[in-house]
């Protein structure tokens, strides 16, 4: 996995940066392939044996890595030490924040939820208090914060968040300074993609598109190991690309957005128009919606079948456009698609195959997520580890 580092990409790399980069590369190789011998780490990273020896000796001294042979690690099997330190993951998600403590191998150690009512300053002070109570118990080395909205990740600044109802909030001033540990910040839409690359369906891949399905259409893009996102701007908003110029109006003000046609609330509305069966279905309940839709189709309802086909066609069209533009190796379908069921996913795949350039068929895979829960917390924690090694946290 090559640099997800958006903070330093515009600057040159000096020797210290190269060393930090190599340390992360070696650590990540041991994490992914351990138990592993030193010679295999050298082969996989293409680093010299001298470089590998120095880094591994440092890791063993720092307690980050353990060897099956005490004293002389040159012939032993190496593994990361899951108890070397802890990461604090924070998801500012609306009415509440989830705060969790994780180990470097992504085991959840402890969780808390914090209400986010009041001013941003008051809410963040409560989040800081939760982090500080964990800090008293654990060796928290880094904190990762996932935020919905328009975020300037490099400056740890929330420009605008509809779900939080916040404008221009500095997370350094109102959170990091209150806890005093290094911090990384990222849009929550990118975090599940990072989780897939770390330990899910896209491990070891550098060109990945992640899409999720629910009240909106969430999307993250990674190209050549870098997240495609411009700090402080709205990007990756797949739900708001126009797929039908004369389609229904969207809450963003535009007409014919993908989200206005296929999101779960949009589909619930369209289902209610064709049958009483959908009356009780809630706007946020993907599983019940699709179960009712499949049952209706099973009874021979042509309108329901056409609605499902049309929904899959629009999603497939949007994904095919993404594939044609970015050429990902993997397109990961998030948990919302998994909940909607295999039939829907297969229809989307067939729509993609019909619409991508024939020459690109075979160059990408569409796979379901391998992370069933807490993908945002896992993803932001993986980014926090990465930045901790790169020395590019906000301090
Ligand atoms: Zn829109």
The reported pLDDT for the residue numbered 19 is: 87
Distance between Cα 18 and ligand 1 center (Å): 42
Distance between Cα 133 and ligand 1 center (Å): 41
CB 360 within 8 A of CB 324: yes
Partnered with residue 36 across adjacent β-strands are: 78
DSSP for 272-310? HHH-GGGTT--TT-HHHHHHHHHHHHHTT-HHHHHHHHH
The reported pLDDT for the residue numbered 1 is: 37
CA distance linking residue 47 with residue 107, whole number of Å? 30
Distance between Cα 89 and ligand 1 center (Å): 30
Q: Could you tell me the CA-to-CA distances from 261 to 75, 168, 266, 274 in Å, in that order?
A: 59, 31, 6, 15
Distance between Cα 251 and ligand 1 center (Å): 6
Q: How far apart are the first and last CA of the chain?
A: 25
Distance between Cα 262 and ligand 1 center (Å): 11
CA distance linking residue 81 with residue 59, whole number of Å? 10
Nearest Cα residue to 279 out of 291, 263, 292: 292
Distance between Cα 218 and ligand 1 center (Å): 12
CA distance linking residue 371 with residue 108, whole number of Å? 14
Nearest Cα residue to 117 out of 101, 134, 94: 94
Three-class SS state of 393: coil
Distance between Cα 147 and ligand 1 center (Å): 20
CA distance linking residue 227 with residue 204, whole number of Å? 15
CB 195 within 8 A of CB 210: no
The reported pLDDT for the residue numbered 4 is: 42
The reported pLDDT for the residue numbered 71 is: 64
Distance between Cα 214 and ligand 1 center (Å): 14
CA distance linking residue 285 with residue 282, whole number of Å? 5
Distance between Cα 244 and ligand 1 center (Å): 11
| pLDDT per residue rounded down to tens, the chain (395 residues) | 334 444 444 567 778 888 888 999 999 999 999 999 999 999 999 999 999 999 999 999 999 999 998 766 577 999 999 999 999 999 998 899 999 999 999 999 999 999 999 999 999 999 999 999 999 999 999 999 999 888 888 889 999 888 899 999 999 999 999 999 999 999 988 999 999 999 999 998 999 999 999 999 989 999 998 888 766 666 778 999 999 999 999 998 999 999 999 999 999 999 999 999 899 998 888 999 999 999 999 999 999 999 999 999 999 999 999 999 999 999 999 999 999 999 999 999 999 999 999 999 999 999 999 998 899 999 999 999 998 888 777 77
Distance between Cα 185 and ligand 1 center (Å): 25
CB 254 within 8 A of CB 273: no
Q: Which two tokens stand for residue 303?
A: 């309108």
Phi, psi of 239 (to 5 degrees): -65, -20
Distance between Cα 256 and ligand 1 center (Å): 7
Distance between Cα 8 and ligand 1 center (Å): 32
Q: pTM surpassing 0.85? A: yes
Instruction: State whether CATH 3.90.1150.10 applies to domain 86-189+375-390.
Output: no
The neighbourhood of ligand 1, an ion, using CB within 5 A, equals 240, 250, 252, 254, 257
Phi, psi of 141 (to 5 degrees): -95, -25
The reported pLDDT for the residue numbered 163 is: 87
Task: Give the DSSP letter of residue 159.
Answer: E
Distance between Cα 120 and ligand 1 center (Å): 27
The reported pLDDT for the residue numbered 317 is: 96
Q: What is the H or E stretch that residue 112 is in?
A: strand 108-115
The sheet carrying 183-187 orders its strands as 108-115, 96-102, 86-92, 140-147, 183-187
Q: What is the domain class of 15-80 according to CATH?
A: mainly alpha
Distance between Cα 190 and ligand 1 center (Å): 19
CB 379 within 8 A of CB 373: no
Q: Could you tell me the CA-to-CA distances from 213 to 218, 248, 330 in Å, in that order?
A: 7, 19, 17
Distance between Cα 209 and ligand 1 center (Å): 20
CA distance linking residue 76 with residue 196, whole number of Å? 30
CATH of 201-368, one of 3.30.420.40, 1.10.3720.10, 3.30.930.10, 3.30.565.10: 3.30.420.40
Distance between Cα 250 and ligand 1 center (Å): 5
CB 272 within 8 A of CB 278: yes
CB 143 within 8 A of CB 88: yes
Domain limits of the chain? Answer: 15-80, 86-189+375-390, 201-368
Beta pairing, strands 183-187 & 166-170: unpaired
């Amino acid at each position: 996995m090559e640099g997800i580092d958006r903070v330093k990409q515009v600057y040159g790399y000096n020797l210290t940066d190269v060393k930090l980069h190599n340390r992360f590369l070696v650590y990540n190789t041991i994490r992914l392939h351990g138990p592993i011998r030193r010679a295999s780490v050298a082969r996989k990273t293409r680093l010299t044996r001298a470089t590998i020896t120095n880094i591994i000796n440092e890791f063993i001294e720092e307690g980050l890595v353990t060897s099956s042979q005490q004293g002389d690690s040159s012939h032993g099997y190496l593994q990361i030490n899951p108890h070397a330190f802890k990461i604090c993951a924070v998801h500012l998600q609306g009415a509440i924040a989830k705060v969790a403590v994780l180990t470097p191998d992504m085991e959840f150690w402890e969780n808390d939820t914090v209400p986010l009512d009041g001013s941003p300053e008051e809410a963040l002070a409560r989040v800081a208090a939760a982090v500080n109570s964990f800090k008293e118990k654990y060796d928290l080395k880094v904190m990762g914060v996932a935020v919905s909205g328009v975020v300037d990740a490099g400056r740890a600044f929330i420009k605008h968040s509809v779900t939080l109802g916040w404008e221009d909030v500095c997370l350094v001033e109102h959170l990091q300074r209150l806890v005093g540990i290094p911090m990384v910040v990222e849009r929550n839409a990118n975090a599940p993609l990072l989780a897939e690359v770390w330990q899910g369906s896209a491990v070891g891949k550098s060109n990945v598109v992640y899409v999720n399905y629910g009240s909106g259409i969430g999307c993250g893009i990674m190209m050549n190991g870098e997240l495609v996102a411009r700090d402080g701007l709205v990007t990756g908003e797949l739900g708001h690309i126009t797929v039908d110029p004369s389609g229904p109006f969207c809450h963003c003000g535009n007409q014919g957005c993908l989200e206005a046609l296929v999101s779960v609330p949009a589909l619930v509305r369209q289902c209610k128009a064709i049958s009483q069966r959908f009356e009780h279905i809630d706007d946020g309940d993907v599983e019940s919606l699709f179960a009712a839709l499949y049952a209706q189709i099973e009874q021979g309802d042509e309108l329901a079948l056409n609605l499902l086909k049309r929904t899959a066609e629009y999603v497939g069209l949007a994904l095919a456009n993404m594939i044609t533009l970015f050429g990902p190796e993997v397109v990961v379908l998030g948990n919302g698609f998994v909940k909607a069921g295999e039939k829907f996913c297969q229809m989307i795949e067939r729509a993609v195959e019909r619409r991508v350039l024939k020459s690109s068929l075979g160059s990408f895979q569409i796979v379901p997520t391998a992370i069933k829960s807490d993908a945002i917390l896992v993803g932001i924690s993986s980014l926090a580890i990465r930045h901790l090694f790169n020395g590019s946290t906000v301090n």
